[in-house]
Structure 1
Amino acid sequence: MTAVPRVTGSKLLVQIGNGANPEVFDHDCLINTKRGVQFSSEKTESIMPDCDNPDDPAWKSVSKDGFQATISGAGMLYAASLGDWWDWYNSDDAKNVRFNVTPAGYWQGAFKLTDFEVTADGNKDTATTTVTIVSDGAVVWVPVP
């Protein structure tokens, strides 16, 4: 039996492009504990009637109408980059983002920062952040050769 190679959380990195030419992607320390990516699709559903047995329950047919990727991240507040994230949230600008899965490859596309939260549970607790970044157009998978 071949064991599945383990991919740890530290191998999942949200890397944000700097907009330069050539563009450089770097992981910001603001996302330092939790990160994930979710892919979803808008759909249209139709009930396909059974012409031979019209009283029986029928199967649904699904057509995909649109795709979206949502990256979520969280961590201890990294104050050094707080201003950059705040500026991104306050704009309608998309940034090129990679969700890197080392050693397999990465998903890449333009993303907008749609949710940004800074919290702490108590006076002595460490402040934390959570972010949600939503795709603005196509997202592609780039495998490592």
Structure 2
Amino acid sequence: MAQPVTTKGGKLRVMLGNDAEPIVYAAPCGFTSRSLTLTKGLEEVLIPDCEDPDAVSWQGRDATSLSMAVSGEGVMAQESVETWLDAWEDVNSVPVRIELEFPAKTVAWVGRMHIESIEAGGENGRRVTKSISMQSDGEMVRTVTP
């Protein structure tokens, strides 16, 4: 049996871009875990049996949209707190680059996302943590590089 080629959690990177030309992307400090969710919007339609109109119809589905969500958790780092807050306060979506690096290739998505929510929490005597949620705003262009 051949083992799959996998990668570590730190190789899933969430990077925010600046206003420079070309855009410079950097991963804000503090995430200890992150997740990427790819969603396809579907519209349902009943497909009748033309020979037997009384038969139970099969459910058909048509793709209507694609969306990407990113969430991450970790410590609230002084180095990145204003980066996250500035992006959240911005009425416009911000440039984002998501990378998933494997030993032989990197899959990346580039586009714009809104910072949907930032949650900070802390217990007495413990470090302040953060939870951040992001939603795509338009197309996220995928590239694969060796």
- Could you tell me the TM-score, scaled by structure 2's length? 0.89
CA-CA distance at 1:43 after TM superposition: 2.0
Which runs of structure 2 are paired with 1:1-145 in the superposition (5 Å)? 1-30=1-30, 32-103=31-102, 104-120=106-122, 122-145=123-146
CA-CA distance at 1:4 after TM superposition: 0.8
CA distance in 2, matches of 1:75, 1:65: 34
Could you report, residue by residue, the CA deviation over 1:55-88 in whole angstroms, capped at 9, with x for unpaired residues?
Answer: 4322111111111111111111112221221122
The one-letter code of the counterpart of 1:19 is D
Aligned residues of 1:119 and 1:128 also touching (Cα < 8 A): yes
Q: Give the CA RMSD over aligned residues.
A: 1.5
Q: Percent identity between the aligned chains? A: 27
Aligned residues of 1:19 and 1:95 also touching (Cα < 8 A): no
Unaligned runs of 5+ in 1: none
Aligned residues of 2:38 and 2:69 also touching (Cα < 8 A): yes
Unaligned runs of 5+ in 2: none
CA distance in 2, matches of 1:123, 1:78: 17
Aligned residues of 2:28 and 2:83 also touching (Cα < 8 A): no
CA distance in 2, matches of 1:23, 1:140: 15
